[in-house]
Chain A
């Protein structure tokens, strides 16, 4: 072990020590902080898994379309199936913290914008967080761009109000929201209260019509909602991208290259092709399911439904929404807390942003030091940094001007897409699909189409640059 290895190990254990110290000291201050520490340690696990498996939703379909690599799409399907199995049990026992979202064309459009953005940015919302933990300056810029864009986007009014149809405005006003929320001034307010909230909300368990909660969860949500679509997507990926190379290799090795057994072997081989990604998917899926169970357990223990109640008990009243709540999903989420910390900064600088639905009614803008989801995101970066340091993969990298521009544009598109879709690749896709929420696949379809468009653009862009660089005799 050389000096750099030792220094990396020291840093890795210092991060673990610091997070442990935060958990212990805050618990000694008030037992309610265990609620924040639960988010923190699940965030830490997510970060470690994401970095270990290079688990980025952006690369799932981007690398498939760009370079024909299916490993990440496979990893995500594995993670969703496992998450689905664990959370179906949690749902059936009434311990789930999940609430399905309204679905409609907006889910597809939001996914499309998000999908283009994640290809431009070089990583999805969760991928950018874990890459920040690897010391990647470009990813840090993406996180900043997503955060700032969302904080601005949720509060745009004035001229933007004219872009909302009259029907949205009327419907939003008719909801009779608290006086502190001014839905007449805010495009997002009219979009949410006047359009999104009027859309249907269904899980595959609801659609199956099965009354028994266990059967509904496992047959409706897991089998119909996750396993069947995931298996079909993997079959499509196998046929289009993996099959030819697999059969070619078998033929070269003098082995049979025809028959159903051969095809099944190829399908299975594709699933196991990247051990790192598959292992990460397995742990992520299980951790995400357990996260829900733990958060529900803590809510039962403290007799609350939302962390806002605990904040009030602890004497923190700033930034709590008109409903007395703060953003407390009870599971893995990425983008809302990013909007919140910038929203909090804007508010401290004098921007009145608590009169909108997103901050003022639903999520609040608590101080990031007491924001449960911010603890999760910061620990996610910490977990990724620990894993990268232990494998000597940590490296501070300042973005070039070109990458900085892509990071800002991509981050902004992801910020807009995630607010329109009520979540990102995690909250609107991974979690919702795994919970059998219909809106999850709609966001996913848009995201895949967006990734395709982004890849087409980048392929043109890199080809152009390559042609300039390769101005020499190749032979």
Chain B
């Protein structure tokens, strides 16, 4: 499945990178966060377990807040709020 980056509503974005392996999920997440505005949220869907560690560390370093972490049947759904310029 190809990567999808969509606008759900004002200030709400969805990045679907399920099926992708490293380094694609973390790279696309970084690039999506670079594109959205401070205060916007990005929901990231991925199913590559090792990307979870990288995305969490990346958000921690950049100061972005992970509001929600859900993992069901091997698929992760994380909601990230961009709190500072990345």
Chain A residues packing against B (C-beta within 8 Å) = 4, 51, 54, 56, 58-59, 62-63, 66-72, 119, 122-123, 127, 131, 134-136, 138-139, 241-242, 245, 248-249, 273-274, 276-277, 388, 392-395, 397, 399-400, 402-403, 455, 458-459, 462-463, 465-466, 469-470, 472-475
Contact = CB atoms under 8 A, between A and B. Distances in A.
Interface in B35-76: 35-37, 47-50, 52-54, 57-58, 60-63, 71, 73-75
A463 B3 CA distance: 12
Nearest to B50: A54
A122 B5 contact: no
A58 B22 contact: yes
Contacts of A59: 22-23, 50, 54
B7 to A, nearest CB: 5
Nearest to A62: B23
A121 to B, nearest CB: 9
Nearest to B76: A393
Given A68-B58, A462-B28, A392 B23 contact: no
Contacts of B74: 135, 392-395
A274 B49 contact: no
Contacts of A136: 21, 48
Contacts of A462: 24, 27-28, 31
Nearest to B34: A466
Contacts of B75: 395
A392 B73 contact: yes
Contacts of A470: 5, 32, 35
B57 A245 contact: no
B21 to A, nearest CB: 4
5 contacts: A4-B73, A59-B54, A122-B23, A123-B22, A136-B48
A395 B6 CA distance: 25
Most buried by A among B20, B37, B49, B58: B49
Contact of B26 (A67, A70, A242, A463): A67
Nearest to A455: B23
What 9 A-B pairs are tightest by C-beta distance, nearest first? A395-B74, A54-B50, A122-B21, A69-B57, A469-B5, A245-B61, A67-B58, A393-B49, A122-B22
Contacts of A466: 3, 5, 28, 31-32, 35
A70 B58 CA distance: 9
B19 A400 contact: yes
Contact of A67 (B3, B30, B36, B37): B30
B9 interface: no
Nearest to B74: A395
A248 B22 contact: no
A242 B61 contact: yes
Nearest to A473: B7
B61 to A, nearest CB: 4
A245 to B, nearest CB: 4
A277 B49 CA distance: 13
A119 B50 CA distance: 14
A193 B49 CA distance: 43
A9 to B, nearest CB: 15
A470 B7 CA distance: 9
Given A54-B50, A474-B36, A248 B63 contact: yes
Contact of A69 (B1, B26, B37): B26
Nearest to B28: A462
Given A54-B49, A59-B23, A273-B60, 5 more contacts: A62-B22, A63-B54, A66-B30, A399-B21, A474-B36
